[in-house]
Each structure stands twice: as structure tokens, then as C-alpha cells.
Amino acid sequence: MGTTHDHDGHAGHSHGPTAADLARPDGARRRLWPLAVSLGLIGTFFVVELTAGLLFGSLALVADAGHMLTDLVALSMGMTALLLARHGRVTDGRSFGWYRAEVFTAVLNAVLLLGVGAFVLIEAIRRLGDDPEVPGGPMIVVALLGLAANVVVMLLLRADSDSSLAIRGAYLEVLADAVGSVGVLVAGVVALTTGWGYADVIVAVLIALWVVPRAVRLALDALKILNQQAPEHVDLSELRAELEELPEVQDVHDLHVWSVTTGMDVASVHVTSSGDHCDALTAAQRVFSAHGLDHATVQVERPGGEGRCESLTW
């Protein structure tokens, strides 16, 4: 897990996971088959909804099909990101493989969600001038089918949505579309029973207002990783204090903790020790492991010794 260096040039290595170990497939947490099945279901229903919208002249159904298209894009990007993370070759230039592909995918998904929300709001404002004609019957049938497809896909993706930003982005897309299907269903019932087309506009605005905050949260989570901020579940002050309390350690500096992607946190630190460097390294390893940091680089230095590293200024 760590590497020790002293001013005499001797180095000791622990036997924790290396960058290459971290890049190995993690099939238990990040399964590809739910994404593949979801992609097939959503793709099939996209064709059904678009055909129905064009056949019945329903702008609402065509618009919802456009939202379904964003689901297809999100699922496709999620699959691509996970395939790269699993099978992308680890090289000297990419020592962590392609795990960051998930983070970039999450940012793109968030932008996509914000774009859909903006489009819906603009379209809703545009329709305020006259009472739109909405075909209630076809809307109800297609909305029910769409809701069923979305619920199945949500159940497939839910288990992995917390362990992968790529899957979470796809999950949020499908969740938003499920809410949209409910909205289309309600608007269809209102249009069929009362003939009041503005129900479609109101539902569209509510969907947009519901989607936007979730898209912003997804983008912020991804940007925190890209900015190499410390994970929220790691208390750096507590971590530093525990390292400083170790009897084998006299000083702690240049402590850094960041995430490569969701579920892959790494750390580095310089510690000063006057005793056995292997003891200091082992003690530091135990502290990092207690905080869920199983991949850390620990540099052990001698107090006041020649060649001692100064604190980094970058």
C-alpha cells in the first residue's frame, strides 16, 4: 500500500494493491448486462413512441421520444465508459486505466439532462399563447407502455447506481423519463376527459423543475472528482490527527486524498519517523485502511536528516 524512502536512499515497499491491481475488472459491483438489457428495452420503446407521435400528430409524444433518446445516449455512454474501465489497457501513460471515463460520462449526462430541462421550459413558454390540442387516448396508452419500460430499467440499474457515476447518470435519465411518463399519463387523462390541453404544458414544466436540480448534483459530484477534492466520507482532519498520534511518527505533512472515480479513493503522505521505517509504514497503513483507503503511498523520512523532503508548495 505504501512506499518508504529515507535520506540514505533505501526504499521499502508494502504489498497492498498497485495501480494495475485497481484497474482490474470489478464484476461484482459494476455489471454490464443490466446496461445492455436496458439499452435494448429503451431503444425498442423509443421507436414505438416516436412512431406513435408521428402517426397521431402528438407533439407531446414526439417530445417525450426525444427525452427517451437522451436515455439511449446516457446508457450508451455508460456502457462505453464501463467497457473502457474494464478492458482499457493499463499503460505507463495511463497507470489507472480508463476509470476516469465514468466521470467524464457523468458530466456529459448532466449537460444532457440540463439541455432537456431547458428545452422543455422553453417549449412550455412557447405554448402559452393558445390551448394546444392533445390526443388523450394515444397519450395514455403510450405513457403506460413507457412507464412500464422505465420501471423495469430502473430496477435493473438501481443496485449499481451508487457505485458508478456513469450508471447513476443513466439511472437519473431513466428516472426522469419515468416521471415524464407519469406526467404524460396525467396530461392524457385530463385531455381525454376535459379537452384541456394546458395540462400537458403544466406537467412539462414540473418535470423540468424536477430534473434540473438532480442534473446539477450529478455534475457537481463529477466535478469534485475531476478537481481532485477529498471524498466527502473521508475526514482529513481526523485522518491527519490519527497519523500524528502514532508513536512511530513524529510529523505528518503533504497529506492528500482524492478519488480516481467512484469507489476508488487514493492517498499520499509524508511522515517523519526516528524509529524503524517499516514499523512507521505499517502503522500508517492501518490508519489509512481504517478510513477505507486501501491504496496509499507513504513516504517515511528521518527527522532532521540530510535529504529530508520539504513540504510541497504546489
Q: What is the CATH number of the domain that holds 43?
A: 1.20.1510.10
The answer to whether residues 147 and 169 belong to one domain is yes
In a domain, 234, yes or no: yes
Average of per-residue pLDDT across 177-200: 79
The pLDDT of residue 5: 44
Q: Dump pLDDT digits (tens) for 257-301.
A: 998 877 778 999 999 888 888 888 899 989 999 988 888 889 888
Alpha-carbon distance 140 to 54, whole Å?
Answer: 16
The answer to whether residues 84 and 152 belong to one domain is yes
Q: The cell 477534492 sits on which residue?
A: 229
In a domain, 176, yes or no: yes
Q: Which three cell numbers stand for residue 287?
A: 490508519
The answer to whether residues 146 and 220 belong to one domain is yes
The answer to whether residues 118 and 217 belong to one domain is yes
The structural domain count of the chain equals 2
Q: Which three cell numbers stand for residue 113?
A: 439532462
Give the CA distances from residue 217 to residues 18, 168, 169, 222, 250, in Å, rounded to whole numbers and listed in that order.
31, 11, 10, 9, 40
Q: Of 196, 226, 256, which one is at a domain's C-terminal end?
A: 226
CB atoms within 10 A of CB 59: 15
The answer to whether residues 179 and 239 belong to one domain is no
In a domain, 164, yes or no: yes
Q: Which three cell numbers stand for residue 252?
A: 505528518
- The yes-or-no verdict on residue 174 having pLDDT over 90 is no
- The yes-or-no verdict on residue 14 having pLDDT over 70 is no
What DSSP element (H or E) covers 26?
Answer: none
The answer to whether residues 165 and 82 belong to one domain is yes
In a domain, 243, yes or no: yes
pLDDT band at 21 (very low <50, low <70, confident <90, very high): very low
The CATH number that applies at residue 291 is 3.30.70.1350
Contact, 176 vs 112, CB < 8 A?
Answer: no
pLDDT band at 306 (very low <50, low <70, confident <90, very high): very low
Contact, 288 vs 294, CB < 8 A?
Answer: yes
The answer to whether residues 35 and 153 belong to one domain is yes
Q: Dump pLDDT digits (tens) for 206-245.
A: 777 777 787 788 788 888 888 888 888 888 999 999 999 9
In a domain, 10, yes or no: yes
Q: What range does the domain containing 240 cover?
A: 3-21+230-301
In a domain, 46, yes or no: yes
Please tell me whether residue 251 adopts helix, strand or coil conformation: strand
- The yes-or-no verdict on residue 11 having pLDDT over 70 is no
What DSSP element (H or E) covers 123?
Answer: helix 101-126
What predicted TM-score, i.e. pTM, was given to this entire model? Answer: 0.65
The pLDDT of residue 240: 92
Q: Of 226, 259, 288, which one is at a domain's C-terminal end?
A: 226
pLDDT band at 17 (very low <50, low <70, confident <90, very high): very low
The pLDDT of residue 267: 93
The answer to whether residues 251 and 204 belong to one domain is no
In a domain, 307, yes or no: no
The answer to whether residues 218 and 235 belong to one domain is no
The answer to whether residues 207 and 60 belong to one domain is yes
Which is more confidently placed, 109 or 144? 144
* Summary mean pLDDT of the chain: 75
- Parallel, antiparallel, or unpaired: how do β-strands 296-301 and 3-5 relate? unpaired
Q: Dump pLDDT digits (tens) for 57-77.
A: 666 676 677 677 777 777 777
Percentage of the chain modeled with pLDDT above 70: 75
In a domain, 132, yes or no: yes
Alpha-carbon distance 161 to 171, whole Å?
Answer: 7
Alpha-carbon distance 5 to 97, whole Å?
Answer: 26
Q: Of 226, 257, 288, which one is at a domain's C-terminal end?
A: 226
The answer to whether residues 272 and 203 belong to one domain is no
The answer to whether residues 113 and 217 belong to one domain is yes
